Amino acid sequence: MNSIILTEFVLYFLLMIGIGYYTSRTKMSHSVYLLGGKKLPGWALAFSERATGESAWLLLGFTGFVFTTGLAGIWVAIGIAIGIIFAWVFLAKRFMKETDKHRVLTLPDYLASNFDEKANVIRWVASILIAGFFMFYVGAQLAGAGKLFFTSFNMDHTLGIVIATIVVLGIAFFGGFVSVVWTDMIQSLMMLITLCILPIIALIYVFTNDLSISQSLTTAGDSFNSWFGGTTGFALGILFFNNFSWFFGYLGGQPQLSARFMALKNVKEAKQARNVAIIWTILAYTGAFLIGLAAIAMYSQGSFSDVETILPQMIMDLMPPWISGLLLAGILAAIITTANSQLMVVTSSVSEDIIHKALGFKLTDQQLLTVSRITVLVSGIVGMLIALTSESLVYLIVSWAWAGVGGTLSPAILMTFFWRRYSSIGVIATILSGFVFTILWISTPLDSIITSRFSTFFIAGIFGILFSLLFPDKRNHYNS
């Protein structure tokens, strides 16, 4: 079995790197390398945004979370789905228009371009926030690859992480954003196939072997068969907000997702992309939730030393080798596509926001392109080292990064879009308070009571409002 799956993995690697190299033959400039030059079709950007947003944590982390939580895990899926739909319906076209208006390539540069008084300070704090958290986010993806290789081939985690790093760097280095989007598109389809086919096969297995999901939920634990985890009153409110809180990270503050909105060409493409993204989301999260429920019926609690290996184990248990290889490659696709996109975000923050804009180095377009490629390599190696030295779960690391970046930058983006009195000092206060409070919150028992994904969004927003009122700009940012 392993030899068949390994052969399919090798072919998959070669295909992805080949696509990355082929698309890199596009006439490359710094703007094309970082944001595609407004030449990519909307449907491809939608597939790319969904693959980037849902990463290894959906296939490995969320399915494992449902397995250990039961029916109440659905609130995570509902919160995320509503957040995704809200972003595509209300924010995507605004991002596209604002990008055209200000001629920017990155999220930090967009914020800075609206607030001339403290533009470079905003670039610095936003870029440091993104690079700091996203290095751990990249590391989480590569750690997920190590788990996949261990489950599939009993391969040493270290070797699996190194192999995944090579593939990620091979794609991102050559063609930048263009290569990442086109490989994302294929990988997004592979993820969707895995999340649609596997739950059907798993449910057929459950019913034909006289297994009962409802009975298994009851056996698994007291709270598993309750949509609200068996909680009432205040505890119910905490469970709801903790699980639903992923919603707040989708409100414009995730730069790897917002980059896809910024790259849209026109309103027609934006509408097409919105429809593709919403359909993808509904299908994918329904499938992942059903996989978690089927796993409760198929496997007893405590039978996995790491619940985030449930999905690859289920694939190998239920599928013939050649199909297993294709579906397992779908998990690998989720890992690689997200790691690629996060590397591009870190790269754009360093080369465009810091070196080009904040430090003001007068480099040619080709020199900026070279700096971006060097940054991709360095960032990939740092992410690999984090993956090799971290024992934290994929779900946990992604949750923290989601709060630190999405929960911090989402209120900054929303207030920049919709509040005329938002000031440059307010932006800085939003970012610094979000960063500091995320670190403090996750370092205390508070995070186990109310998640930082929820608290960071509101703390950062409150600081932004307060400091904007106390320290208004001399000139309204809408007119700057």
C-alpha 191/C-alpha 136 separation (Å) is 23
CA 304 to CA 315: how far, in whole Å? 15
Tokens of 379: 């960032």
| Chain CA centroid to CA 368, Å | 26
Cα 280 to Cα 258: distance, rounded to the nearest angstrom = 17
Contacts 24+ apart (CB under 8 A), 353-356: 353/106, 353/108, 353/109, 353/112, 353/123, 353/126, 353/127, 354/123, 354/124, 354/127
Q: Which CATH class name applies to 2-479?
A: mainly alpha
Predicted pLDDT at 356: 82
Q: Give residue 241's pLDDT.
A: 67
Q: Could you state, in order of their start, the residue ranges of all structural domains in the chain?
A: 2-479
Q: Is 318 in contact with 202 (CB distance < 8 Å)?
A: yes
Q: What are phi and psi of 363, to 5 degrees?
A: -110, 150
In whole angstroms, give the CA distance from residue 437 to residue 432. 8
What single string gives the DSSP state of each residue in 11-73? HHHHHHHHHHHHHTTS---HHHHHHGGG-S-HHHHHHHHHHHHHHHIIIIIIHHHHHHH-GGG
Written as tens digits, the pLDDT of the chain (480 aa) is 467 777 887 887 788 778 777 776 666 677 787 788 888 999 999 999 998 887 667 887 889 889 988 888 898 899 889 999 999 999 999 999 999 998 888 899 999 999 887 889 999 999 988 888 888 778 877 877 777 777 667 777 788 888 888 888 877 777 678 888 888 888 788 889 889 999 999 999 999 998 888 888 888 888 888 887 666 565 666 666 677 777 888 888 889 899 999 999 999 999 999 999 999 999 999 999 999 999 999 988 878 877 878 888 898 889 888 888 877 777 777 677 777 788 888 888 888 888 888 888 787 878 877 888 888 888 888 888 888 876 554 556 666 777 888 889 999 999 999 999 999 999 999 999 998 998 888 878 877 778 888 889 999 999 999 999 999 988 666 555
User: Which pLDDT value is given to residue 463?
Assistant: 97
Q: What is the DSSP letter of 228?
A: T
> In this structure, what token pair is assigned to residue 310?
């449930």
Alpha-carbon distance of 434 to 454, in angstroms, equals 11
Q: How many residues does the chain have?
A: 480
Dist CA 42 CA 86 (whole Å): 17
Q: How far is CA 438 from the centre of its chain?
A: 18
pTM here is: 0.84
Distance CA 200, CA 433 (A): 45
